Structure formats: structure tokens, C-alpha cells
């Protein structure tokens, strides 16, 4: 079996590790924009190329007789990489462009949710002109502002968070309108969680719910990032959730896959990522993504017990319904070590020394290797994961390992701690009372 991974970040490193652990002993190949040293050592061979260069990726995949590909990030999906791979006779984990639109066009997705009556859609409108957009912001009074297209997770701004008031929301909207359409929607108040599922066109297999932490600094302060760390419980739900919240989120994702087929006549094959806010009236959809989350993939892939290659084959053959996908009942805590100054003014080319990690798992993200040493590039550098019977024990494994990583880096000590989790539980109790 010859498997191609497209992408070169932390998420793709954990995907590569999952594939490597298969008893089928697959040969791994990769296309990545920059060499990820963690992925490179797991590969027979790799191509350093833009992952969105469809022609080059297909040429490489054909030259290596690839059987199946796994697309990590969203940009190649939006560029139509899955369509081209299927056309070349290569099976793909990652939906075709007609379905991946659910991630790369936020306006399309909201209209699609409305058309098919999918639950959890907030009040929203889509605008191309400033006057009506500003009037709608005034009317709602408390809003989230989203550019329609892909922005690498950095385009959505929310009042009470990155937008201090209505005037700031209007100014940001006007700026976005110069580039394209804008979705304005009611601000959702609650606790965020992520639900990820394998989808084979019809069936969905859900992974445990994850909570990511977007803010750079402890106490959920500072600028937004791609995600500083995340945790799962040994249960499917998180400590601030009820089982009915998870059931509702699963139902929303199942309805979404069914409706996507009705709308596009194309089967969704890959990972569906639902980002939800658990509000006082249940889970609401912030957005859908067409791939694993980063860091959320790091919480899930290490606890999968079923053979990873068999899972991939079941996705592309449409036989997930017949494969029992098992996880170890362990809690996980993932924390990213990031360069000093990240995200606004990160220190680049700074050495990272990773030693004595104990039981923790390590995944490289934005780092490079030179002369046998590892250096930062400026984005999230190294993800450390602890897996244990409880969140508390998993947190300690991750924390101890992070304290042994040397370099001009920082990480959030509070992710996965009992104090922060209690804050989430108290917040939900207050909202539900
Ligand atoms: N952690 C957020 C994302 O992957 O979109």
C-alpha cells in the first residue's frame, strides 16, 4: 500500500504517525510546502511543493503509484485536489470541491443550512453593500463578522472579543466588503467545542468532542491563534456538556452530510469538522470544516485503536458502517509550544531542543531542520500530547514534557488544568440557570 499525505503541519505529522502504525506496513509519501522533519522521517520520499499546485501533486502521486491520499489542510481541497486525484484513479480522504465548499464559502454554507432546515444555524444575513450591512449590525446589536472565503482561521471577528463595539464591527465589515461578500450573524454565547467525524458518503463515525483554546495567553487572553492546545475527556463528551448536547451536534452533522448529497449529488468522503458553541439553548454551528482540526487531530488520532489504514479504506469504499472504529477510553491534553512573540511578532530561526519527553507524544508543526538541529519558522512549533485515564493525568504528562523542551518558546500552562475546566463547567451552569 502506497499512501500520499498532502500537507506538512502538526496535523499531517499525527496523520502520518497514525498511518505508520498500521499493521499493513504502508509506504508513506508526502507533498509539503516546507520540509516537516517529523513527517520526513516517516516517508519513503517527499516532494517540497505548494500543496495547492494540483498539476504537480498529481504528477508526483502518479510517479509514485500512490493508492490512496490523505489531504490534511483546507487550501488544497478548495483548489480541487481531491477531484483531480480521483480522476487520476487515486482514492482520497478529503471531499471533492463541490462538498469542501462547506468550509471555503461561509455564505454558501449558511444559505445551505437554511435551505435544508439544518438545526443550529444562527440568525444571519449576507451582504455585498455597506449600508444594509451596517443597518443589520445595528439591528442585531451583538454580532460576529465573517468574510465568505478562506482566511486561515483569522478572518472571523466577534463583538466583545476582537471587536470592542458596534462601530468596530461596522469598520471591519466595510474593510471586508472591499474584497468580497460578508456574513453578519448574531453572536453566540457559550462554550466552544469541536466534533469531528469520518464520513464515507453515507455513514458518519464520530470521535470524542474536543475543546480548543484559540487565545494566545493563559486565562483566554491575548490575540487569537490557530489554537494553542486542546483536550478530550475519557468519555465522548466534555465535562461541561450533557449527553443530549452531543446527540444534537451529531444529528446536525448527519443532517448536513445527507443534505450535502441532495444539494451536490456528490458523496462526502473524508473528515467533517463541526465547530459548535454550546449555548443555553443547545449547540449552534459556528462553522464546518472539511478536514481534521489542528490541534484537534492530535487529541483523536493517538487514541484510535482500529487500524488506521483499514479506516481509510472503509472511508473511500463506503464501508464505514461495517467497520467497528474503536478508541482507547483515555483523556488527552495537547499543548503547542510556540515561538516567543507568537502570533504577532514571533521569533524565527530559534533553536528548539526536544528531549526527555517521558510518556508524552510529540508532533512537529512549523519547524525546520538544519545541521541536525530544529529551528522555529514563526508559527506554532511543536505539539505535545499526554494521554491518560483522566484529563488531570494527561495534562501533567503534557506539562512535564513541555517543561523539558528548551528554546525561546512559550505555551499555555492552563490548558487541561482542573481550574480552567471548572471555569467552563461554571460558565455553562450559569448560562443554563
Ligand atoms: N483548531 C481550529 C481549526 O483547525 O480550524
- pLDDT (tens digit per residue) in 167-207: 999 999 999 999 899 999 999 999 999 999 999 999 999 99
The strand ranges marked E within 118-220 are 124-127, 143-147, 157-158, 182-186, 191-200, 204-206, 211-212, 215-217
For the chain, give every residue range classified as CATH 3.30.470.20: 191-422
Confidence band of 155 (pLDDT split at 50, 70, 90): confident
Answer yes or no: is pLDDT of 356 > 90. no
Q: Is the peptide bond before 343 cis (omega within 30 degrees of 0)?
A: yes
C-alpha of residue 65 to centroid of ligand 1, in Å: 31
Which residue is closest in CA terms to ligand 1's atom 4? 293
How would you list the strands of the sheet with 204-206, edge to edge? 204-206, 191-200, 269-279, 282-289
Which atom from ligand 1 is nearest to the alpha carbon of 153? 5
**Overall size of the chain counted in residues:** 433
Compute the distance between CA of residue 262 and CA of residue 258 in angstroms, rounded to an integer.
7
Answer yes or no: is pLDDT of 355 > 90. no
For the chain, give every residue range classified as CATH 3.30.1490.20: 123-186
- Spell out a b/e string for 81-113, using b for 16 or more CB atoms within 10 Å of the CB, else e: bbbbbeeeebbbbbbbbbbbbbbbbbbbbbebb
C-alpha of residue 63 to centroid of ligand 1, in Å: 32
The grid coordinates listed for 4 are 500520499
The grid coordinates listed for 51 are 500543496
Does residue 339 line the site of ligand 1, with CB under 6 A?
no
Please, which residues have CB within 8 angstroms of residue 344's CB and are 6 or more apart in sequence?
223
Confidence band of 152 (pLDDT split at 50, 70, 90): low
Which atom from ligand 1 is nearest to the alpha carbon of 212? 1
CATH class of 2-94: alpha beta
Does residue 9 line the site of ligand 1, with CB under 6 A?
no
C-alpha of residue 292 to centroid of ligand 1, in Å: 8
Give pLDDT tens digits for 372-411: 999 999 999 999 999 999 999 999 999 999 999 999 999 9
C-alpha of residue 69 to centroid of ligand 1, in Å: 21
Picking from 338, 362, 372, the residue whose alpha carbon sits closest to that of residue 223 is: 338
Does residue 293 line the site of ligand 1, with CB under 6 A?
yes
Which residue is closest in CA terms to ligand 1's atom 2? 293
Helices and strands (H and E) in the chain: how many: 14, 25
Which atom from ligand 1 is nearest to the alpha carbon of 294? 4
User: What pLDDT is recorded for position 298?
Assistant: 98
Answer yes or no: is pLDDT of 38 > 90. yes
- DSSP code of 304? B
Which atom from ligand 1 is nearest to the alpha carbon of 293? 4
Whether the Cβ atoms of residue 133 and residue 184 lie closer than 8 Å to each other: yes
For the chain, give every residue range classified as CATH 3.40.50.20: 2-94
Residue to mutate, 213, 290, 293, ligand 1, most ligand atoms under 8 Å from C-beta: 293
The grid coordinates listed for 53 are 499546485
Residue to mutate, 14, 195, 227, ligand 1, most ligand atoms under 8 Å from C-beta: 227
User: What pLDDT is recorded for position 149?
Assistant: 78
Bridge partners of 143, per DSSP, are 186
Bridge partners of 331, per DSSP, are 388
Confidence band of 17 (pLDDT split at 50, 70, 90): very high
Compute the distance between CA of residue 156 and CA of residue 177 in angstroms, rounded to an integer.
13
Does residue 59 line the site of ligand 1, with CB under 6 A?
no
Compute the distance between CA of residue 272 and CA of residue 295 in angstroms, rounded to an integer.
15
C-alpha of residue 109 to centroid of ligand 1, in Å: 17
User: What pLDDT is recorded for position 154?
Assistant: 65
CATH of domain 123-186: 3.30.1490.20
C-alpha of residue 272 to centroid of ligand 1, in Å: 12
Helix (H, G, I), strand (E, B) or coil at 300: helix
C-alpha of residue 153 to centroid of ligand 1, in Å: 7
Give pLDDT tens digits for 212-233: 999 999 999 998 899 999 999 9
- Architecture per CATH, 191-422: 2-Layer Sandwich (3.30)
Which atom from ligand 1 is nearest to the alpha carbon of 227? 1
Which residue is closest in CA terms to ligand 1's atom 5? 293
Q: What's the mean per-residue pLDDT of the chain?
A: 96
Does residue 296 line the site of ligand 1, with CB under 6 A?
yes
User: What pLDDT is recorded for position 153?
Assistant: 60
Q: What percent of the chain has pLDDT over 90?
A: 95
Report the greatest alpha carbon distance in the chain. Answer: 61
User: What pLDDT is recorded for position 156?
Assistant: 87
The grid coordinates listed for 364 are 512537529
Helix (H, G, I), strand (E, B) or coil at 218: coil
Amino acid at each position: 500500500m502506497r499512501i500520499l499525505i498532502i500537507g506538512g503541519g502538526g496535523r499531517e505529522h499525527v496523520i502520518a504517525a497514525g498511518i505508520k502504525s498500521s499493521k499493513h506496513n504502508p509506504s508513506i509519501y508526502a507533498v509539503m510546502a516546507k520540509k516537516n522533519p517529523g513527517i520526513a522521517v516517516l516517508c519513503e520520499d517527499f516532494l517540497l511543493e505548494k500543496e495547492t499546485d494540483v498539476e504537480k501533486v498529481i504528477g508526483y502521486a502518479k510517479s509514485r503509484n500512490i493508492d490512496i491520499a490523505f489531504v490534511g489542510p483546507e487550501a488544497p481541497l478548495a483548489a480541487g485536489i481531491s477531484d483531480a486525484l480521483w480522476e487520476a484513479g487515486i482514492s482520497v480522504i478529503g471531499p471533492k470541491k463541490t462538498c469542501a465548499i462547506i468550509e471555503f464559502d461561509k455564505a454558501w454554507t449558511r444559505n445551505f443550512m437554511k435551505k435544508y432546515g439544518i438545526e443550529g444555524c444562527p440568525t444571519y444575513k449576507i451582504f455585498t453593500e455597506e449600508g444594509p450591512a451596517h443597518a443589520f449590525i445595528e439591528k442585531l446589536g451583538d454580532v460576529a463578522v465573517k468574510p465568505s472565503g478562506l482566511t486561515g482561521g483569522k478572518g472571523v471577528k466577534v463583538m466583545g472579543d476582537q471587536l470592542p463595539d458596534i462601530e468596530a464591527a461596522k469598520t471591519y465589515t466595510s474593510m471586508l466588503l472591499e474584497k468580497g461578500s460578508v456574513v453578519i450573524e448574531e453572536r453566540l454565547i457559550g462554550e466552544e467545542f469541536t466534533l469531528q467525524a469520518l464520513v464515507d458518503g453515507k455513514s458518519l463515525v464520530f470521535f470524542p468532542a474536543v475543546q480548543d483554546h484559540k487565545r494566545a495567553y493563559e486565562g483566554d487572553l491575548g490575540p487569537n491563534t490557530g489554537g494553542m492546545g486542546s483536550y478530550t475527556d475519557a468519555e465522548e463528551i466534555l465535562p461541561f456538556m450533557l449527553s443530549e448536547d452531543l446527540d444534537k451536534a451529531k444529528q446536525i452533522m448527519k443532517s448536513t452530510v445527507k443534505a450535502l448529497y441532495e444539494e451536490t449529488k456528490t458523496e462526502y468522503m473524508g473528515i467533517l469538522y463541526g465547530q459548535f458553541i454550546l449555548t443555553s439553548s443547545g449547540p449552534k454551528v459556528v462553522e464546518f470544516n472539511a478536514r481534521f482540526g489542528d490541534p484537534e487531530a492530535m487529541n483523536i488520532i493517538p487514541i484510535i485503536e482500529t487500524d488506521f489504514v483499514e479506516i481509510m479504506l472503509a472511508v473511500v469504499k463506503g464501508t464505514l458502517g461495517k467497520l467497528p472504529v474503536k478508541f482507547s477510553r483515555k483523556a488527552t491534553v495537547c499543548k503547542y509550544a510556540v515561538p516567543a512573540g507568537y502570533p504577532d511578532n514571533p521569533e524565527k530561526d530559534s533553536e528548539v531542543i526536544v528531549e526527555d519527553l517521558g510518556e508524552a507524544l510529540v508532533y512537529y508543526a512549523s519547524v525546520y531542520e538544519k545541521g541536525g538541529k530544529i529551528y522555529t519558522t514563526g508559527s506554532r512549533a511543536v505539539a505535545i500530547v499526554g494521554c491518560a485515564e483522566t484529563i488531570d493525568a494527561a495534562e501533567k504528562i503534557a506539562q512535564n514534557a513541555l517543561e523539558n523542551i528548551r528554546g525561546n518558546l512559550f505555551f499555555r500552562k492552563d490548558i487541561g488544568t482542573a481550574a480552567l475546566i471548572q471555569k467552563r463547567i461554571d460558565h455553562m451552569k450559569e448560562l443554563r440557570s
